[in-house]
Structure formats: C-alpha cells, structure tokens
Amino acid sequence: MSTANETLHPNNFPKLHNAAWPGVVGKGGEDNDPPIELDTLLDLTAAAEVDGRKFDGVDLFLFDPHVSIDATDAELESLAERVRSRGLVIGSVVAPVWPPTGGGSAAGGPEEVELFLTQVRKACEIGRKLRELSIRPYGVIRIDSAMGPADWAKDPEANQSRIADTFKAAADIAEEYNEQLAAEGEICWGGMHSWRHMVDLLERVGRPERLGFQADMAHTLLYLMGYNSPEDALLPEDFDWSDTAKKQEALKKLTHALRPWTIDFHVAQNDGTVHGTGSHDKTGRHCLPDAPGGKLDIATDAGFWLRDEHGDVLKTIRHICWDGCMFPNSVMHKSDTWNSILAAMLSVQDAHGWQE
C-alpha cells in the first residue's frame, strides 16, 4: 500500500544530498560570516522535510573545521556515526587541492604538483575508509586545477598540458583506491573556465573511468554566457532571458559536449552574475531556488544533464547535491531555506528520477 508521500514523489533515485561546504567556503576573514559547524549543518539538513520526504545524505569538504584531510580512523568513525545518527549518508567529498588548503597548482612546478597529488591521495584514502564504514555508498572525489584563469592564460598550451599530466597522475591514484575523480566545471579555475577548455582537458586526460566532469547548474550557466572566455559564449552578451527556446538550444549544445563525461551533478539556481566572498574567487552566484532574477528553470533545465539525447533518463548519477555556496549565515540558519531547497531537489527527482 503506497503512502501519501510515495504517491506525490514516487522516485527514490537519484538520492538527494545537501552540501556541507557552504558552511566553510567563502566564510571567515574580515567582514565575512564565520564558518558554520558541521554538526549544525547536519542538523539543519536532517530537519528539512517536504511532503514527508527528507534529504538522503550530505556531500563534504575535507578541510578544517569540518573534516580534516589528516583525520584519524577514530575521527572518521566518529564522523560516520554523527552522520548515521541523523539518518543520512555521505556521498561526494571535495579534496583540498588549493595552495591555501595545503595543495598546489596542477600546472605548477614539481613541488606544487606533489602537494596537489598528496591531497588527492589523502582524499581517496578517506573516501575508501568511509566506504568501509558503510556510510558512503556512492560519490566521487572532486578536484579542479587549483589555478586562476589569469595565470593559465599566460601560457595556455603549456598550462593545459601540465594540468592534464597532473590529472593523469591523479587518475592513477584514484585507481589504486577504486575511486572516481570529478573535475568541477567552474569559471574561476584555469583550463576549466570555459566549456571548450573543459572538454579539451578531459579528452587530454582520456581516463573516463577515473576522471569525469562535475556539472553544477549555477556554474555551467556561466559557460553559456562566456564569462572568462567570451570566444566560447553560446549566448549573446545582451541575451533576452525570456527567450526560453534559445536558452534551451544553448543548453543542448553544452550538455551534448559535457554530458558524456558527467559523473556528479549539482542542482542550483543562478541569476546570471558572478560573486565571490572570503578567499573564494568570483564564480557563479548561487541563489535560492525561487530567487528573483533566477535564470534557470531548475526541474526542466536539470533534464539536459540527467537525460540522454533521446530524452531517456540516464540513471548514471546515483545522487544529486544542492550547492548553496556563499549564502549568508542568516539565510543558512533558517529552516525555511532548507525546506525550499529540498522541494527544488524533489522536483528534479520527480522529473528525471527512477525507482529501485
């Protein structure tokens, strides 16, 4: 006998996750909100409920004060219990590959590359241990180039080649741990700052079984607009956002190129502008699902990533995650915020999900 919420929302895949890193990314420093503790974010995630449905899990940033990249086995066991006790699981985790977090540029010298790869190895180690603790049934290790577009542009060919070599070495590490790496498509990372350069990088690495693409709806919208790479824009600078057909045509071209590589997916809203706080460089502005000026029809536009060219559900993404980077703490502490986000996530699952 079906319950009311099963009738309203019959699909149970892809699983619905909330990201914990908005409590850390863009926080701290002068005139910025302080970090939000992981336990607080776990509580807010677990408390959200819409039509009897709740979040299934969380995605994590492997960096203090949430989860140390050098976490001990005892600390990881404690983490697993804290997540499990709230009825959640862990999915994808972010490797702290940037210089401020102990890493180094993927296009840097030998010492920087070694720091980058060390962080990848540590993240893969944690990922494997969390799987062994039966708290992480799916998910990837997220990485990026850890260099800005301006530095990349000083020698595009050499830098793209160096990043590809570093990513190949990272893929070798991932294979040791039976993990997958997902390169985040975001305009603030050199060599990944446009959809053409992102496809080029993935092809140069050529390890789809170990290195794929993470599509975030907020960031990939800026791919359409050509931020940081005007020559790769798929929409004109003065684009009229009421022209839904033209936006969808651009999304079809974008997703045709990147969907075959996509192994991790973020649901998000964007108002077509860039934004950055703290030490986080300017990037896609994450907005609340119903924010005024939002350019995405979340449920419809997610389908360009989650369905194939024939409109069939792919079933390759086991979980989807909401990324609310750089929301003010005052917004993040409101229960209504997470209920609204969960409702948006459910709309994607309803439209492009399946039952198992």
317, 16 contact by CB (below 8 A): no
Check whether 347 has a pLDDT greater than 70.
Answer: yes
Question: Per mean pLDDT, which range of 76-90, 144-158, 167-181, 271-285 is the poorest?
Answer: 271-285
Exposed e or buried b per residue across 137-168, where buried means at least 16 C-beta atoms within 10 angstroms of its C-beta: ebbbbbbbbbbebeebeeeeeebbebbbebbe
pLDDT of residue 278: 44
Residue of 165, 124, 175 whose CA lies nearest to 145: 165
Mean pLDDT, residues 116-127 taken together: 98
96, 321, 327, 46: CA torsion to nearest 10: -110
3-state secondary structure the chain: CCCHHHHHCCCCECEEEEECHHHCCCCCCCCCCCCCCHHHHHHHHHHCCECCECCCEEEEECCCCCCCCCCCHHHHHHHHHHHHCCCCEEEEEECCCCHHHCCCCCCCCHHHHHHHHHHHHHHHHHHHHHHHCCCCCCCCEEECCCCCHHHHHCCHHHHHHHHHHHHHHHHHHHHHCCCCEEEECCCCCCCCCCHHHHHHHHHHHCCCCCEEEEEEHHHHHHHHHCCCCHHHCCCCCCCCCCCHHHHHHHHHHHHHHHHHHEEEEEECEEEEEEECCCCCCCEEEEECCCCCCCCCCHHHHHHHHHECCCCCECCCCCEEEECCCCCCHHHHCCHHHHHHHHHHHHHHHHHHCECC
Per-residue confidence (pLDDT) for residue 2, from 0 to 100? 47
Total-model pTM: 0.94
pLDDT tens digit sequence for 55-104:
999 999 999 999 999 999 999 999 999 999 999 999 999 999 999 999 99
Contact 74, 91 (CB under 8 A): no
Instruction: Say whether pLDDT at 279 is over 50.
Output: no
Which of 30-34, 101-105, 149-153, 342-346 is predicted least confidently? 30-34
Look up tokens 């460089």; give the residue.
281
Closest CA to 214 of 106, 317, 349, 295: 317
Contact 56, 15 (CB under 8 A): yes
* 211-270 per-position pLDDT tens digit: 999 999 999 999 999 988 999 999 998 999 999 999 999 999 999 999 999 999 999 999
Q: Is the pLDDT of residue 356 over 90?
A: yes
Check pLDDT > 60 for residue 1. no
Q: Could you tell me the domains of the chain? A: 4-352 (3.20.20.150)
How would residue 7 be classed by pLDDT, with cut points 50, 70 and 90?
confident
Across the range 304-326, mean pLDDT stands at: 94
pLDDT at 275 over 70: no
Split at pLDDT 50, 70, 90, the class of 319 is very high
Of residues 206, 126, 211, 201, the one with CA closest to residue 163: 201
